Structure 1
Amino acid sequence: MDLEVRHLRALCAIADTGSLHRAARQLGVAQPSLSTQLRRIEQELGGALFVRARTGCRPTPLGRLVLSRARPLVAEMRSLVSEARAAATGDTELRVGSTASKALAGWLRRLRARGQDPTLHMNVSPNALLRMVADGQLDVAFVHEVEGCPLRIPEGLRLRVLIDREPQFVSLPADHPAAAHPVVHVRELADDRWMIDPTVDGEWDAVQRMFRAAGISPHVLHGDYHTAAALVATGEVVTVCQPTALSRPDTAVRRLHGDPLGVRLLLAARTETDLDGALPTLEEAYRETAHQSAAYREWLEHETATATAARAPALP
């Protein structure tokens, strides 16, 4: 049996889902058919590619070797088909992936103004979005990398840094005592309930490090940040937030003293051409969004002034 792209795609699906059942559903085939196909592939290659257990399937050393070669081939084939279809139809669609950002609306608007037709796929996991770009399912992805928790960058991806370190702020109920000050110490929030989304890659680890450094151990609830925003407004929790978030009558966005949390903002694509086409509009949209937040604007002005003073020659 000669291996074909569909066989490699099946192996990637099994590895990605960790289950023959889920892989079969993703591929649109019956599980017995996929199991038979896997056995034939293993016979062709001369060894087991996956260890089957009640908890699922995981690659063997031989499986990891095969997958390391299969993934780029599958991604290239997807990219080839996508680009060929676009060229044949004159399609200007740009498949955009992103984690949450207030800059998204301005970015998509600017892309449309340039004659592109962006579609959007949102995901809280930057690693999942990067894998989708590598697999040819997305053209570009705008993601964040939590400080101290490096992303898993698939082989062959091109990256551009939008912001090397964006500080993360805190969102408080408007009547919280700490909201009376422009800068909040983490220790001031030791007795509050925090809500953190543990599904965001690296987020929970970074927040735990911040708590340990501050010597506090607050009560933590786990939930998505849309729910967190609603609970902040009713005085139930405090939560970390992006510095571009805006204060409202019932919430206050404040800087954390010492900027203990930070992320790096990245744009990823398979080609330099895709990066060059998407980055300028994203930079414009981000600057526009940053300017709208008074707290973040003040932080940026302070950082710029500090950096300028550091570069100035010493007086004799």
Structure 2
Amino acid sequence: MNIHRLAPSTSMLLAFDAAARHRSFTRAADELSLTQSAVSRQIQALEQLLDVELFTRDGRHIRLTEVGAMYAQDIAPALARISGASARVGAFRKGVSSLNLATLPTFGARWLMPGLEDFYHQHPGVMIHLHTRIGEYDITESGMDAAINVGVDPWPGLIAHPLIDEEMVLVASPDRLARYPIRQPGDVIDHLLLQIAVRSEAWHQWFTAQGLPLGYMRLGPHFEFSTHMIQAAVSGIGIALVARCLVEEELADGRLVIPLDAGLNSHRRYYLLYPPEKENFPPLATFRHWLLTGKTSITAPNDDASPS
């Protein structure tokens, strides 16, 4: 196999990536500050190198072929990582380092973000770039330096620092409780049960723990993000099982209430995770020290175990 076919030039890949995103050679040329004919030549050269047709042409209109769409999807993350790495090198030269950190969306917004002003005050030379990730993923392959995720030990191949235990609490709006009081576990059967898609088993576990028949459950809508489920509970659509740290603000201002001291112990924790080769990466070491020695004392006790 011709090794050069496996390593197209960056100019070819950038031209193809821009054209694939815009579905236009002209707009790709504008983005890259090139002429339309220059973009076209780069893509033709790439097609000749790979010996495949990446676009179909119909006059001035272009459309990705099936293999072209696959190729565009595969190279986009790699180009983004190269661009990000170059930007970080430039920032480092100017005395600023950065950390690419993946986190669950609601957890990042409600638990981590409120304390980052303090971090930047203490460490103005480190930038934390937050990226939303849900479920399982490879930290290195996704271009991240570290991640905050929820689960149970072990985390194979990763260094894991526990942050907080997941404490699931039952919450409802005061208006809803005024109409349908919850004084004992059995009263929950009068309510629509809001669900997080990746934790659809939570209510089954709660009913089992309380000794209630599963047939009494009135399962309500699924939500992809905890933020949406929390808002649904505040609006009175139903009741929710949610990590306490995600609803501290609503509990403090009275928009949500915990009617029963009967939560759910999921045995899960939130962890700071990273591969061993990143252990001494300076921006990660700075962030890790701040997170483990100061951040956890700033906020509430817990979080969500879903695409929070």
TM-score normalised to structure 1 length: 0.56
Is the contact between residue 94 and residue 116 of structure 1 (CA under 8 Å) also seen in structure 2? no
CA distance in structure 2 between the aligned counterparts of 1:192 and 1:240, rounded to whole angstroms: 12
Q: Does 1:28 align with 2:39?
A: no
- AA aligned opposite 1:210: A
Q: 1:241 to 1:165 in 2, by over 3 A?
A: same
- Gaps (5+ residues) in structure 2? 58-62, 208-213, 304-308
- AA aligned opposite 1:207: R
- Gaps (5+ residues) in structure 1? 197-202, 298-316
Q: 1:283 to 1:226 in 2, by over 3 A?
A: same
Secondary structure of the equivalent of 1:43? Answer: helix
Q: 1:284 to 1:173 in 2, by over 3 A?
A: farther
Q: Does 1:144 align with 2:153?
A: no
Match of residue 42 from structure 1: 47
CA distance in structure 1 between the aligned counterparts of 2:182 and 2:145, rounded to whole angstroms: 38
Percent identity between the two aligned chains: 11
- AA aligned opposite 1:283: L
Q: 1:266 to 1:50 in 2, by over 3 A?
A: farther
> Superposed, which structure 2 residues align to 1:215-294 within 5 Å?
215=214, 216=217, 218-220=219-221, 222=223, 225-226=226-227, 228-244=229-245, 245-246=247-248, 247=251, 248-253=253-258, 257-260=263-266, 262=268, 264-268=270-274, 271-272=278-279, 273=281, 274-289=283-298, 292-293=300-301
Q: Does 1:86 align with 2:87?
A: no
1:105 pairs with 114, 125, 129, which one? 114
RMSD: 5.3
Deviations 1:178-234 (A, max 9, x none): 7657xx68x93573152x5xxxxxx51x33233566533512164755454444234
- AA aligned opposite 1:42: E
Which structure has the bigger radius of gyration?
2
Is the contact between residue 54 and residue 65 of structure 2 (CA under 8 Å) also seen in structure 1? no
Is the contact between residue 168 and residue 259 of structure 1 (CA under 8 Å) also seen in structure 2? yes
Q: Does 1:169 align with 2:169?
A: yes
TM-score normalised to structure 2 length: 0.57
CA distance in structure 2 between the aligned counterparts of 1:174 and 1:83, rounded to whole angstroms: 48
- Give the CA deviation at 1:113: 1.0
Q: Does 1:192 align with 2:166?
A: no
Q: 1:5 to 1:240 in 2, by over 3 A?
A: farther
Deviations 1:227-246 (A, max 9, x none): 54444234223234332132
CA distance in structure 1 between the aligned counterparts of 2:264 and 2:46, rounded to whole angstroms: 55
- Give the CA deviation at 1:163: 4.2
CA distance in structure 2 between the aligned counterparts of 1:122 and 1:242, rounded to whole angstroms: 21
Is the contact between residue 102 and residue 131 of structure 2 (CA under 8 Å) also seen in structure 1? yes
Aligned length: 263
Q: 1:179 to 1:133 in 2, by over 3 A?
A: farther
- AA aligned opposite 1:249: G
- AA aligned opposite 1:188: V
CA distance in structure 1 between the aligned counterparts of 2:151 and 2:64, rounded to whole angstroms: 29
